């Protein structure tokens, strides 16, 4: 389960980082605000992806990051759509990951 969830967070980190120039140019957000906020959310995605194997708390952090990603749509409206897509991918990965883990445990 953690591999798929980590992949979702990794790709989400790239998308959020790519939204920084969009926020600056089209969203009229000052670069001094957009860069630190965007990079901190991107780095948080990478850190949480690395922590997924350490415990369930990382899954809660990942769920919180999905809300942050959707919330970035206030600045970059496209992030409402992209954040929602990643939120759906995140929760589908969690749901299917549990099923796969249960099936794998049954085979052992």
How far is 59 from 75, CA to CA, in rounded Å? 26
Identify the DSSP state of 75. T
pLDDT in tens, 6-53: 999 999 999 999 999 999 998 889 999 999 999 999 999 999 999 998
Confidence of residue 108 (pLDDT cuts 50, 70, 90): low
Q: Is 89 left (phi over 0), alpha (psi -120 to 50) or beta?
A: alpha
Q: What is the DSSP string of 4-67?
A: HHHHHHHHHHHHHHHHHHHHHHTS---HHHHHHHHHHHHHHHHHHHHHTTT-THHHHHHHHHHH
pTM: 0.88
């Amino acid at each position: 389960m953690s591999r798929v969830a980590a992949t979702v967070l990794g790709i989400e980190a790239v998308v959020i980082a790519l939204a920084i120039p969009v926020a600056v140019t089209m969203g009229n957000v000052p670069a001094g605000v957009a860069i630190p906020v965007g990079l901190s959310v991107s780095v948080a995605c990478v850190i949480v992806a690395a922590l997924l194997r350490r415990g369930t708390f990382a899954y809660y952090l990942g769920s919180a990051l999905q809300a942050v990603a959707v919330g970035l749509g206030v600045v970059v409206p496209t992030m409402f759509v992209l954040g929602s897509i990643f939120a759906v991918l995140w929760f589908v990965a969690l749901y299917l990951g549990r099923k796969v883990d249960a099936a794998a445990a049954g085979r052992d």
